[in-house]
Amino acid sequence: MLRNLLFITLLTWAASVTVATAGEDIAKAKDHPLLTRYPDAYITEYSKNYNAVDFSVGAAGQPTMVETIEGDTTSLRYFYESVEKQPSPLQLIRNYQNAVKSLGGEVLFERRPTDTDGGETTLKVTTNGKDFWIKVLPEIYSSPTQSYQLIVTEVAAMAQVVTANELLDELNKNGFITLYINFDTGKSDLKADGLATVKEIATMLRSSPAIKLSVEGHTDNVGNAAANQTLSQARATSVMNAIVAAGIDASRLSAAGYGQERPVADNRTEEGRAKNRRVELVKQP
């Protein structure tokens, strides 16, 4: 079974591509810290550099789209040691999908293997302030043993630094504030940067005791609509509870989740989906 590792620190390697002898990793090659190899495989090609990578996205039965993601990219090609130990292409895809899901990530695309195509999957997970885009490509062209590619691109997650005065100015001008608070995929627990934003919200509310707010959560359209509504409610409630914990009277606050019902950008692009994953503070009468 594929072993999962959480990404702890960003490692930097010089860009290089070399070829290994059978059964041994090439010199200086390493598994990506987020995900390790399928058992009994060895690295035959390796590179680490800043690059732009095309990732296939789209739900089953829908037209396939391509997202070009720029970031620190690790590209690995693995070969299996023996025919007896190598998985089927579908088994490989499922193992990586399950590994990423166990980290709170999601499947953005799947092309099932056929007799002439090893298939493909695109995965994404957010952890420690970074978005990780992952491509797994089983290869069925060699004989008797086969290979697969693992490509991981790391990009900084959307962050927002605001002050209490900026929050108040925007609230008075527009009647609402849009916040991009980083949550792990599928989770509602506030992280350090989210707690810093909550501190500024509480400061604003203490300086303006007449203001009441509705904390409203929104998601993109990836996944099940009902689950997205539940997640958006949980995130809104998490932010509200943190504001109360910072010393603001709970009677001044309410929380609501709208899931994917109210997009502000195009869900067909990653940039648009990132804008739709938001928390809004709406001024109440």
| Residue 80 · residue 147 · CB < 8 Å | yes
> What pLDDT score does 194 carry?
85
Instruction: Give me the phi and psi of 254, to 5 degrees please.
Output: -145, 165
Question: What mean pLDDT is predicted for residues 16-30?
Answer: 67
Both 83 and 147 in one domain: the answer is yes
Residue 128 lies in a domain: yes
Q: Residue 144 carries which side chain, given as an amino acid letter?
A: P
Q: Do residues 90 and 142 both lie within one domain?
A: yes
Q: What are phi and psi of 205, to 5 degrees?
A: -70, -35
Higher per-residue confidence, 15 vs 272 = 272
Nearby residues of 278 by Cβ (< 8 Å), 6 or more positions away: 178, 179, 180, 181, 218, 264
Nearest to 51 by CA among 30, 79, 29, 70: 70
- Domain at 82, CATH number: 3.40.1000
Domain tally, the chain: 2
Q: What is the pLDDT of residue 59?
A: 81
- For residue 184, how far is the Cα from the chain centroid? 7
3-state secondary structure of 78: strand
The pLDDT, as a whole number, for residue 186 is 79
pLDDT of residue 109: 94
Residue of 175, 136, 261 whose CA lies nearest to 278: 261
Directed axis angle between helix 164-174 and helix 192-207, to 10°? 70
On whether both 89 and 176 belong to a single domain, the answer is no
Residue 254 is assigned to a structural domain of this protein: yes
If asked whether residues 178 and 142 sit together in one domain, one would say: no
Range of the domain at 129: 41-156
Residues in Cβ contact with 208 at an 8 Å cutoff, skipping those fewer than 6 apart = 168
* Residue 18 in domain: no
Is there a single domain that holds both residue 52 and residue 128?
yes
Three-state SS at 97: helix
Residues 168 and 280 grouped into a single domain: yes
Looking at the structure, tell me whether residues 105 and 206 fall in a common domain.
Answer: no
Residue-wise pLDDT tens digits, 127-146: 877 889 999 999 988 778 89
What percentage of residues in the chain have a pLDDT greater than 70?
Answer: 90
Do residue 217 and residue 112 come from a single domain?
Answer: no
CB 60 within 8 A of CB 43: no
193 has a pLDDT exceeding 80: no
- Last residue of one domain, picked from the residues 108, 133, 156: 156
Average pLDDT over residues 199-213: 95
Quick: pLDDT tens for 68-120. Answer: 998 999 999 999 988 888 999 999 999 999 999 988 889 999 999 998 999 99
Nearest-angstrom CA–CA distance, 49 and 33: 15
The least confident of 3-17, 148-162, 169-183, 191-205 is 3-17
> Over 60: is that where the pLDDT of 1 sits?
no
> Is the same domain home to 259 and 175?
yes
Q: Please say if the pLDDT value at position 196 is more than 80.
A: yes
Q: Which pLDDT belongs to residue 90?
A: 96
CA angle 15, 21, 23 (to 5 degrees): 110
Whether residue 212 sits in one domain with residue 116: no
Give phi and psi for 265, each to the nearest 5: -150, 175
22 — pLDDT class (breaks 50, 70, 90): low
Asked whether residue 15 is assigned to any structural domain, the reply reads no
Q: Does 176 share its domain with 152?
A: no
Please tell me the total number of residues recorded for the chain in this structure.
Answer: 285
Tell whether the model's pLDDT for residue 16 goes beyond 60.
no
Spatial CA neighbour of 232 closest among 255, 259, 213, 254? 259
Residue 18: pLDDT band with limits 50, 70, 90: very low
- Is residue 201 over pLDDT 90? yes
Q: Residue 92 — φ and ψ, nearest 5°?
A: -60, -50
What tens digit of pLDDT does each residue of 30-55 get? Answer: 999 999 899 999 999 999 999 999 99
**Same domain (yes/no): 121, 179:** no
Is residue 13 one of the residues assigned to a domain?
no
Strands 147-156 and 120-127: unpaired
Q: What is the pLDDT, as a whole number, of residue 20?
A: 41
First to last CA, the chain: 55
pLDDT at 160: 58
Q: Is 34 part of a structural domain of the chain? A: no
Does residue 135 lie within any of the structural domains?
yes
From 131, 156, 181, give the residue that closes a domain.
156
Average per-residue pLDDT in the chain? 87
When pLDDT is cut at 50, 70 and 90, the band that residue 10 belongs to is: very low
Q: How many C-beta atoms surround the C-beta of residue 73 within 10 A? A: 21
Question: Quick one: pLDDT at residue 24?
Answer: 86
Residue 181 domain-assigned (yes or no): yes
Q: How many CB atoms lie within 10 A of CB 275?
A: 19
CATH of the domain at 186: 3.30.1330.60
**Structure confidence at residue 58 (pLDDT):** 86
Q: For residues 179 and 25, what is the distance between their CA atoms, to the nearest angstrom? A: 45
Pick the last residue of a domain from 156, 174, 196: 156
